[in-house]
């Protein structure tokens, strides 16, 4: 079992974003006390006591739900100690807990999977802490940028940033000395620095499908022959068709 104390528990707890817990605590529509005391004849003391009991029950339920989330993460960290592959996908993380860097400090990770969370960024210290990884999966999050420090992951070969909110391809990925494959499918990328792609000597596969790439950008990408580039071809809009 990984070394784990109360500070680590709080660090992980503060990194969780659980919609189920939120709905339980805050609820929707009429409160339970409103439904019970709806005749206007109960005194304020009874109403307040009932509200306090309900709030306590809600808080207990939230702690149980979030506590399970913490346990899930700790178990996956334990697994990573054996496999050297850290899988924190579907953990409802909105940030990477500081405790993670301490718990994994002696583990030479090969891969990190942070997919299907609600992350909008990764901190600049992440690359230096996990600079031995060859695979990084950040898909299905809410990211729009990566720190330049990612280029320090000198062994990184495969990066998945698909299904995020990037409006441009992060240049730090093209500066990785061993990068082979980048999956940037389903973002909001409209233009690409094609010359920068050409100068990336190791890159073999770039997936830009389901991005709003301009027609001019797609034409320029079609001239790239040193790697495989996947795009979703745009249909010509009426205003672009000069023959009409």
pLDDT, tens digit, for every residue of 17-55?
A: 554 444 433 444 443 334 344 555 555 555 555 555 544
Q: Which residues in 227-238 are b (16+ Cβ under 10 Å) and which e? A: bebebeeeeeee
Integer Rg of the chain from CA: 24
pTM of the full structure: 0.77
How far CA 10 is from CA of 7, 59, 66, 100, 116, in Å, comes to 5, 16, 11, 12, 22
Delimit the CATH 3.80.10.10 region(s) of the chain. Answer: 108-244
| Residue 76 DSSP label | H
52 — phi, psi (to 5°)?
-65, -40
**CATH number for the domain running over 108-244:** 3.80.10.10
Other C-beta atoms closer than 10 Å to the C-beta of 146 total 23
pLDDT tens, position by position, 102-118: 889 899 999 999 999 99
């Amino acid at each position: 079992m990984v070394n784990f104390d109360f500070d680590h528990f709080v660090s992980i707890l503060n990194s969780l974003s659980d919609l189920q817990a939120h709905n339980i605590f805050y609820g929707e529509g009429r409160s339970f006390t409103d439904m019970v005391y709806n005749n206007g004849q109960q005194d304020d003391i009874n109403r307040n006591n009932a509200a306090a009991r309900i709030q306590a029950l809600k808080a207990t339920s939230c702690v149980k739900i979030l506590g399970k989330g913490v346990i899930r993460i700790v178990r996956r960290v334990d697994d990573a100690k054996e496999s050297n592959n850290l899988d924190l996908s579907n953990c409802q993380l909105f940030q990477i807990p500081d405790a993670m860097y301490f718990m994994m400090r002696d583990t030479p990770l090969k891969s990190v999977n942070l997919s299907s969370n609600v992350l909008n960024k990764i901190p600049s210290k992440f690359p230096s802490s996990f600079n031995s990884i060859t695979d990084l999966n950040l898909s299905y999050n809410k990211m729009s940028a990566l720190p330049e420090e990612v280029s320090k992951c000198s062994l990184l070969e495969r990066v998945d940033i698909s299904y995020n909110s990037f409006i441009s391809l992060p240049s730090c990925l093209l500066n990785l000395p061993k990068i082979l494959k980048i999956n940037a499918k389903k973002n909001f990328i409209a233009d690409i620095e094609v010359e920068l792609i050409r100068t990336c000597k190791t890159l073999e596969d770039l997936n830009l499908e389901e991005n709003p790439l301009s027609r001019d950008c797609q034409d320029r990408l079609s001239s790239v022959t040193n790697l495989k580039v996947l795009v979703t071809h745009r249909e010509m809009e009426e205003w672009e068709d000069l023959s009409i």
